[in-house]
Amino acid sequence: MNANKEEDIKSTPEHIAIIMDGNGRWAAKRGLPRNLGHREGAETLRKIVKESGSLGVRFLTVYAFSTENWSRPAEEVGALTGLISEYVKKYLNTFVKNNIKVKVIGDLSKMDPKTFGYVSDLIAKTENNTGLTFTIAWNYGGRSEIVNATKRIAADVLAGKIDPEAIDDKLFSDYLYTAGLPDPDLIIRTSGELRTSNFLIWQGAYSEYYVTDVLWPDFDRKELLAAIGSYGNRKRRFGGL
Ligand code: FPP
C-alpha cells in the first residue's frame, strides 16, 4: 500500500536522490519545445525541495546534468545550462526562507563563470542553514567520480599520506564528490525507465529504488508521498537476512 497522506508514512528516508527524467516527453505530449519541459521541471524541483524539507527528509540530491548530457544538441545543452543559471538565482529566496542548505557536486571546471558565480553565491548564502541539505549534481557521472577519487587516492599513496592497506569503503567514500553526505536510502526515477544512468553508482549500492511512470514535471507532493510510502513498507537487509 502506498501512503497518500503524511500520517500514513511508516519511516521517512534520511536521504532521497532523484533522477528527474521525462521533461522532453512532457513537452512533446503538449506539442511544446523540449526546453519548456526542462523549465517546468525546474519549477517542479523548487516545490519538491520544499516538500521534502517539510516532510523531514534531511538530504535531497538531484541529477540536474550528467557528463553524458553534453552529447545532446548544442541548443538543448545551452538551454539546460542557461536554466540552471536562471533557477539557481530564482531558488535563492525560497531556500533562504526555508532553511535549506545547498551543495553542488560534479566537475564544475566546465561551468561558465557567470553560473559558477550564482552557484557559489547560493552555496555561501545557505551555508549556515540547518534544515534540508539540497545537492545538485551537475556535470556529474558516477564512473568519472570514481576515477577521479582513484586518481586522488593514488596521488596520496605516492605522496606517502595513505597506506594502501588503509584503503577501505569509508576512505574511498571520503574521496568522492559526496564526501560527508550519507548514502541515499531511496532513489526515485521518474518516467518509467529502469536504469541507474551512472547516478550515484557507488553510493547507491544498497539504496531502495522507486520508479514511477509519472513524468518529472508532473511529479508532486502526492507522488513524493507514494514513493516514501513504498520505501516505508520495505525491509532493508543490506545483504544480510
Ligand atoms: C531528463 O529529461 C532531464 C534532464 C536531462 C535535466 C533535468 C533538469 C531539470 C529538471 C531542470 C533544471 C535543474 C535545476 C537544478 C535548475 P529528458 O530530457 O531526458 O526527458 P525525456 O527522456 O522525456 O526526453
pLDDT (average), residues 87-114: 93
- The DSSP element (H or E) to which 189 belongs, if any, is strand 186-189
Residue 210 has a pLDDT of 98
The verdict on whether 21 is a catalytic residue reads: yes
As a whole number, mean pLDDT of residues 188-213 equals 97
- Mean pLDDT within 117-138: 96
Q: What is the mean pLDDT of residues 117-145?
A: 96
pTM of the model: 0.95
Three-class SS of residue 224? helix
Q: Which of 23, 26, 32, 89 to mutate to test the pocket of ligand 1 (most atoms within 8 A of CB)?
A: 23
Retrieve residue 115's grid coordinates: 553560473
Q: Where does residue 58 rank: exposed (0-12), middle (13-18), buried (19+ CB within 10 A)?
A: middle
Band of pLDDT at residue 221, cut at 50, 70 and 90? very high
Which pLDDT belongs to residue 1?
A: 46
Ligand 1 contact, 24 CB (< 6 A) = yes
Report DSSP state, residue 57.
Answer: -
CB of 115 within 6 A of ligand 1: the answer is: no
Residues 6+ apart with CB under 8 A from 45: 20, 62, 87
Mutate to test the pocket of ligand 1, among 18, 19, 21 (most ligand atoms within 8 A of CB): 21
Q: Give 60-71 pLDDT, tens digit per residue.
A: 999 999 999 999
Confidence class of residue 8 from pLDDT cuts 50, 70 and 90?
A: low
84 in contact with ligand 1, CB cutoff 6 A? yes
Q: 68: exposed, middle or buried (C-beta count within 10 Å: 0-12, 13-18, 19+)?
A: exposed
The CB density around residue 10, as the number of other CB atoms within 10 Å, is 11
pLDDT (mean) for 72-86:
93
Which of 235 and 2 is assigned the larger pLDDT? 235
Kindly report which listed range (76-85, 164-173, 202-211) carries the lowest average pLDDT score.
76-85
Q: What pLDDT is stored for residue 139 in this prediction?
A: 97
**pLDDT digits over 9-51, tens only?**
678 999 999 999 999 999 999 999 999 999 999 999 999 999 9
154, pLDDT greater than 70? yes
